[in-house]
Structure 1
Amino acid sequence: MKLELGNFHVKDVRFGDTTHYAEGILTINKEEAIAHVMEDEHITHADIFIARPGEEKRIVPVKEAMEPRCRVNGKAVFPGVTGEVASCGDGRTHALKNTSVLAVGKHWGSFGDGLIDMSGEGANYSYFSTLINICLVADTDEEFERHEQQKKNKALRWGAMRLSEYLGNAVKDMEPETMETYELEPVSKKADDVAKLPSVVYVMQPQSQMEELGYNDLVYGWDANRMLPTFMHPNEILDGAMISGSFMPCSSKWSTYDFMNNPTIKELYANHGKTVNFLGVIMSNLNVALEQKERAALFVSNMAKHLGADGAILAEEGYGNPDADFIACYAALEDAGVKVVGMTNECTGRDGQSQPLVTLDEKANAIVSCGNVSQLIELPPMKEVIGELAALGRDGLSGGWAGDEKLGPSVREDGSIIMENNSMFCGDQVSGWSKKTMKEF
């Protein structure tokens, strides 16, 4: 499998008469772009705003993010979702780098939505403050979930994917400015010098806890709650096979953008044949019942063992109940002789004094912490809000609240906010972006 990612490095995004890309500038015909979004009859209103790094802008409630791309062969960027089910990870895909398309609620937020600040202290908490964000701000007629704390957000998520493909097509027939090539030989056909290196597999646990379909991450359009652990080529993840869901406190979330640009996969590629023999990705799942958790851990450990893995990087999307899956998988891998490094965040309470994970095991002795979801964050007002700031405290965003006896409301009258890290959009960046560190006192 050989994936070529042709990159176009965007310096700015503007509105104009036609949608095109030239000399680092992406120009968008807003009316035409919105027409693609409005193809869904459930979307009642849509607009597009631009948020650049350093601008005094706050974006909330953010539901999803993806990179604008097109597949040169004309097939869907997100197979099984925006087009027919078809293998991906092979061939050429063009990408508009330094940008993302954000799905943002015009009014109503939910448990899995978050906040992005484009400047100030808040910008340090989310990777997306470093990108030029093309914000699709929209509302829908989905009354059945308008006031629900947990929303599927399907119309807005799918609308953002259509917008992403529309923008990506601006560079479909152009020659890329730079090219990334990802090629990984089959497990059984490694060169001798590569096969002698420590063999490593990347185990991903995307969110799949909801038994009702429509909330979970998708694999080629298939709800991850329905799947058992599966071996995948890393190129598939980088090339649109994985779509983010809408169920997860937001700092723990892996957006579709995170799947498409997964830093851990890229780092393993960079070291393949040098310090490690990168075998590929085991795409696992997160479950509710204990028996399901144990079964998934068994599948993962057996798969890793038979692939010949010496080591594994294990990452979970979430915290709380998923910690049991994380630790069960960790212990099963260690019992199979596979040395594990775990990547996750913690829920240690606002004071940082609580147990970091719901369950622990002595075998889990090498874990990279990506932050505390309950950490309190206070931020000053921003000049402009894209979306609706009231959603943070009103609509059950996992890190916000309408009122607190000691702290008051999350959204204050002057526009300043206090909230838990939980509400930072993909803030803990367990996929590998995180720049957080630990301090000793």
Structure 2
Amino acid sequence: MRLEIGNFPVREVRFGETTAYSNGILTINKEEALKVVMEDEHITEADLVIACPGDPVRIVPVKEAIEPRVKVSGGTMFPGVTNELVPVGWGRTHALKGVDVLVVGKHWGGFQDGLIDMSGPGAKHTFYSSLKHICLVADTDEEFERYEQQKKNHALRWAGHRLAEYIATCVKDLEPETLEVYELPPITQRSPEVNALPGVVYVMQLDSQMEEDGYNALVYGWDSNHMLPTFMHPNEVLDGAIVSGSFMPCSSKFSTYCHQNNPTIKRLYQEHGKTINFLGVIMSNLNVNLEEKTRSALFVAQIAKSLGAVGAIVAEEGYGNPDVDFIKCIVALEEAGIKTVGITNECTGRDGRSQPLVALDERADALVTTGNVSELIELPPMPIVIGELEALARDGLSGGWEGCVRPDGSIIMENNAMFCGDTICGFSRKRMAEF
């Protein structure tokens, strides 16, 4: 399967009479773009605001991030979600790079929403401070969940995906500045030299703990809570087959942008044919009941063993209860004779002294941490707020609490509320220090 991603670097974003791309400048017709947003009758008001790295801007509550892309050939964007359900991961996709559509609540946040500072000391805590954001700031009439701590944010998130595709249509017929090619032939058709290298799989444990539909990550539009582990081609992940869920505490989640640009998949591609034989992705989930957790772990190990894997990387989207899924999966792989590395964040408490994971096992002896969700972060006031700062304290954001926003606009919060701050997919800026 061969996927070509044509890249169009965005050096400046501005509003103008037409939506167009030229010489690194992305121009957006705001009126036309908002018509795409307002196609959903549940969206009551919306605006677009541009925020760039270095701006004196704080954005909250942030709900989703999507890279603007358009299919040139082979499939659709976000199949089974905002477009027809067809295979992806092949053909040509054009992408606007260095920019995203950021979905922001005009007022109301929830447990799974986060914060981004575009400058100042807060900017170092998330990769997303380095992107140019086309902020969709909107409100809805979804009163049934307005005062709920956990929100589906269906109208807002789906509007963000439609908007991202609309914006990217301006480069559909242009020649990209660079072209990335991702190609993995069927495992049985690889050269003897490649098949002689250690076979490695990447296991992705998606946000999928909610038994009710509408909260979990989607795989080709299918709620990942209802699936068993599934073997996927890595190109499918990079090409829009996975849409982020809305439930996970914010620093721990994978946005759709994270899936579209997954750094771990890209690095495994770089090593393929050199140091490893990259077999593919096992798409797994995070379950509610212990039996479900055990079943998924067994399926992951069986698939990996059947593929001939001798090594695996397991990435957990979340923490707490999902730690049981994470450790069970690692143990099942190790018991199958597959050397496994786990990537996750941890919850060691504000003082850093608590047990990092809910479940532990001596066979999980190769773990990479991307940060402590409970770490306290204190930030000064920011001159401009996109969204509503009070949402951090008022609406149950996982890192906020009543009183965490001070009268002068300064804040104290847990890392939990930093949008994709720990980016377990590989964007994390954090490093280990030895004392």
Provide the TM-score with structure 1 as the length reference: 0.98
Give the match for residue 439 of structure 1.
Answer: 433
- Taking the aligned partners of 1:294 and 1:271, their CA distance within structure 2 comes to 31
Matched, 1:69 2:78: no
- In the alignment, which of 417, 420, 423 is matched to residue 423 of structure 1? 417
Offset, 1:187: 1.2
RMSD after superposition: 0.7
- Taking the aligned partners of 1:410 and 1:428, their CA distance within structure 2 comes to 21
Amino acid in the other structure paired with 1:246? S
Structure 1 unaligned blocks of 5 or more: 403-408
Map residues 366-385 of structure 1 onto 2, 5 A cutoff: 366-385=366-385
User: Secondary structure of 1:72's match?
Assistant: strand
Give the match for residue 302 of structure 2.
Answer: 302
User: Secondary structure of 1:327's match?
Assistant: helix
Question: Do the aligned residues in 1 keep the contact of 2:75 with 2:90 (CA within 8 Å)?
Answer: no
- Taking the aligned partners of 2:124 and 2:147, their CA distance within structure 1 comes to 31
Question: Do the aligned residues in 1 keep the contact of 2:74 with 2:88 (CA within 8 Å)?
Answer: no
Distance 1:89 1:75, change over 3 A: closer
Q: How many residues align?
A: 435
Give the match for residue 169 of structure 2.
Answer: 169
- Taking the aligned partners of 1:366 and 1:73, their CA distance within structure 2 comes to 41
Q: Point out 4+ residue stretches in structure 1 off by more than 6 angstroms.
A: none
- In the alignment, which of 382, 404, 417 is matched to residue 410 of structure 1? 404
Give the match for residue 240 of structure 2.
Answer: 240
Offset, 1:333: 0.1
Matched, 1:216 2:216: yes
Map residues 151-300 of structure 1 onto 2, 5 A cutoff: 151-300=151-300
Map residues 330-349 of structure 1 onto 2, 5 A cutoff: 330-349=330-349
Map residues 382-397 of structure 1 onto 2, 5 A cutoff: 382-397=382-397
Offset, 1:74: 8.3
User: Secondary structure of 1:6's match?
Assistant: strand
Question: Do the aligned residues in 2 keep the contact of 1:48 with 1:134 (CA within 8 Å)?
Answer: yes
Amino acid in the other structure paired with 2:233? H
- Taking the aligned partners of 2:13 and 2:44, their CA distance within structure 1 comes to 25
Provide the TM-score with structure 2 as the length reference: 0.99
- Taking the aligned partners of 2:255 and 2:377, their CA distance within structure 1 comes to 22
Q: Summarize deviations over 1:224-253 as a string: whole Å, max 9, x none.
A: 011000000000000000000100100000
Give the match for residue 83 of structure 2.
Answer: 83
Question: Do the aligned residues in 2 keep the contact of 1:76 with 1:82 (CA within 8 Å)?
Answer: no
Give the match for residue 320 of structure 1.
Answer: 320
- Taking the aligned partners of 2:3 and 2:75, their CA distance within structure 1 comes to 15
Q: Summarize deviations over 1:277-328 as a string: whole Å, max 9, x none.
A: 1000000111010000000000000110010001000000000000000000
Percentage of identical aligned residues: 70
- Taking the aligned partners of 1:75 and 1:51, their CA distance within structure 2 comes to 31
- Taking the aligned partners of 1:154 and 1:324, their CA distance within structure 2 comes to 29
- Taking the aligned partners of 1:246 and 1:310, their CA distance within structure 2 comes to 34
Amino acid in the other structure paired with 1:427? G
- Taking the aligned partners of 1:319 and 1:384, their CA distance within structure 2 comes to 32
Question: Do the aligned residues in 2 keep the contact of 1:75 with 1:83 (CA within 8 Å)?
Answer: no
Amino acid in the other structure paired with 1:437? R
Give the match for residue 405 of structure 1.
Answer: none
Distance 1:255 1:73, change over 3 A: same
Give the match for residue 108 of structure 1.
Answer: 108
Give the match for residue 36 of structure 2.
Answer: 36
Offset, 1:73: 3.3
Amino acid in the other structure paired with 2:222? W
Question: Do the aligned residues in 1 keep the contact of 2:126 with 2:429 (CA within 8 Å)?
Answer: no
- Taking the aligned partners of 1:232 and 1:385, their CA distance within structure 2 comes to 40
User: Secondary structure of 2:285's match?
Assistant: coil
- Taking the aligned partners of 2:336 and 2:121, their CA distance within structure 1 comes to 44
